[in-house]
Amino acid sequence: MADFASSSQAEVDRAVTAVAWSLYEPSSARALAELAVQDTGLGNVADKITKNQRKTLGTLRDLMRAKTVGVIDDDPATGLTRYGKPVGVVAAITPSTNPAATPINKAMMAIKGGNAVVIAPSPSGWSTTFAACELARAELAKIGAPVDLVQVLPTPVTREGTQELMAKADLIVATGSQNNVRRAYTSGTPAIGVGAGNVPVIIDASANLADAAEKVLRSKTFDNATSCSSENSLVILDEVYEEAMVALANVGGYRADAAEAERVVTRLFPDGQINRQYIAKDYVELRAAFDLGGSDEDRFVMVEEPEPGADRPLTGEKLSLVLTIYRAQDFDHAIKLVEQVLLVQGIGHSVGIHTADEDQARRLAEELPVVRVLLNQAHTFGNGGSFDNGMPFTLSMGCGTWAGNSISENLNINHFINITHLVRTIELDEPTEEEMFGAHWALTQN
C-alpha cells in the first residue's frame, strides 16, 4: 500500500483493469469456473464462466466512472472539496458459492480505493481463490504494480486465522454465512456485512405470464440456484394461478404432487436442516434423489405450500432447484405472504414482482422492509447490478439494519474510500427563528 500510495488515478485504474482482466480473460474465466465446481461441487461451469465475466465487466464499468484519488468532488455552492483516500487493508471474507468471482470483485473495489486486500476464502473454495489471486498478481506484475496488493490466507483456512485477520485489518467486507457476518461485526474492526437471501417474487394478475416464466427460469436455474438473489418462492395471484403454473411448466418447471412434495421436504431438510448433499446440484440429480416424475428435460421443481411459516422448511432459502409456490387471494394477501416469508428469512434483502401495473411495485417499495424491489426482471441478473438497470454491479448485497447490516445498498466503491473535506466559508445560510419555529408556534399558541 505504501508503494501504491502515490499512484495517480490513471495508474490506479490500470491496476484495477489488470485485476479485472485476470478473471475476465476467456481461458482464465473457464479454468477458474471448472476449478470452482471441482473444488466445491456447487453450481455448473457454464454459468460460472458467465458470472466470472459478466460481474467483472459490469464492476469494471462502474469503477472506471468513479474518481477515488485526489479531488473527487468540488462544489462551489457548499464550499466543499472532497478528497478520496484509502481505508487501509481490507479483509475480504468470501463464500464457497463464488470462490473466484467474489474475491476478484472485492479486490477490484479495494484497489480502486488505493487499498490492499487480504482474502479469507471458504476452505472448500481455497484452491480456486488462490488460483484467482495468483492470476491477479501476475497481471499486476505485468504493469509494474505491487503484487502484494492482493493476497489470500494460506491453507488450511481456519476460523482462528480468519478472526486474527479481521482483528488486524482496517476494514472487513464479509460475504457468505451469517456466522461470518456476525463475527465480522463483533471483531472490533469497522465491518460491512450482508444479509441472508431468500427472495420471494410476486406474479400479479396483470403480468405477462410467458415473459415472467421465462425470466424465472433463467434466474432460478442460473448456476443451479447458488445466488442469494435466486427466486426461492413465487406468490401467484389466484386470478391467474393455474395459467401461471402452465406457463412455468412450459419452460421446464415440474409441478410436484403431494407425495413428491413430502419427499422433497423430508430429503432436502432432514431434521429441519438443509441437506448440503443437494445444494446447487443439477436438476437430473435432484429428480433422482427426490423420486420425481416428469423427465430429465425439466429444469426445476415447484412445490405448492399453503402458507409460509417458521415450521415449514420450504419457506426459507433452499440453494437448490426447488421453488416454493404460494397462492394469493388478492394483492393484499400477496403482500402478507411475502412479509411472512421475509420474517422467517431474507428480511432486508429483496423482493420481485412481475406486473403491468407499476403502482403494485410502488406498494412493495413503500410497505416492505427490503432494500431492493425488482420490477419485471430476472432477479438473479438484476439484483446485483445489470446493464439494463441502475444498480451498481456487485456480488455483495447490503440489507440494512433489518438484517443487522451497516449498509442498505449494493456494496460499491464508496465503501472503500475515506473522504477528507476541505471546508470554505460561503455566504451566510442562517435561518430566522420565525422560519424554523413559526409553524410550531402557530399550532401551539393558545
pLDDT score of 402: 97
Does residue 395 belong to any structural domain of this protein? Answer: no
The reported pLDDT for the residue numbered 272 is 87
Q: What is the structure's pLDDT at 179?
A: 87
- Whether 95 and 143 map to the same domain: the answer is yes
How confident is the model at residue 176, as a pLDDT? 83
pLDDT in tens, 152-185: 999 999 999 999 999 999 999 999 888 889 999 9
Q: With helix as H, strand as E and coil as C, how does 365-392 read?
A: HHHCCEEEEEECCCHHHHHCCCCCCCCC
- Same domain for 94 and 206, yes or no, is no
Q: Count of domains in the chain?
A: 2
251 vs 195: CA distance, rounded Å:
30
Quickly state the pLDDT bin for 222 (edges 50, 70, 90).
very high
Average pLDDT, the chain: 97
Domain extent at residue 357: 199-384
Domain membership of residue 428 (yes or no) is: no
**Does some domain include residue 155?**
yes
Q: Quick: pLDDT tens for 14-47.
A: 999 999 999 999 999 999 999 999 999 999 999 9
Question: Same domain, yes or no, for 189 and 265?
Answer: no
* Choice among 217, 228, 301, 395 that is catalytic: 228
226 with 367, same domain: the answer is yes
pLDDT at site 384: 96
Domain membership of residue 446 (yes or no) is no
Mean pLDDT of 64-69: 98
Is 133 annotated as catalytic?
no
- Regarding whether 215 and 70 lie in a shared domain, the answer is no
Instruction: Quickly count: other Cβ atoms within 10 Å of residue 329's Cβ.
Output: 12
Burial 334-361 (b: 16+ CB within 10 A, else e): bbbbbbbbbebbbbbbbbbbbbeeeebb
Taking only the tens place, the pLDDT of each residue in 188-210 is: 999 999 999 999 999 999 999 99
| Same domain, residue pair 203 and 182 | no
pLDDT for residue 177: 83
pLDDT (average), residues 49-57: 98
369 and 250 share a domain?
A: yes
β pairing state of 417-423 and 80-86: antiparallel
Separation of CA 218 from chain center: 17
- Would you say residue 355 lies in a domain? yes
Q: What is the CATH number of the domain that holds 240?
A: 3.40.309.10
Q: 328 and 222, same structural domain?
A: yes
In the chain, what is the greatest distance between 2 CA atoms, to the nearest angstrom?
A: 79
pLDDT at 119 over 90: yes
For residue 180, the model assigns a pLDDT of 86
Domain identity same for 74 and 132: yes
pLDDT of residue 68: 98
Whether the per-residue pLDDT at 114 is higher than 90: the answer is yes
Q: CATH number, domain at 139?
A: 3.40.605.10
pLDDT value for 330: 98
Q: Are residues 125 and 226 in the same domain?
A: no
- Is the pLDDT assigned to residue 134 strictly greater than 90? yes
pLDDT digits (tens, 9 = 90+) for 251-296: 999 999 999 999 999 999 998 899 999 999 999 999 999 999 999 9
Q: Return phi, psi of residue 61, to 5°.
A: -55, -50
From the number of C-beta atoms within 10 Å of its C-beta (0-12, 13-18, 19+), residue 34 rates as middle
Same domain, 250 and 119: no
The H-or-E segment that residue 303 falls in is strand 300-304
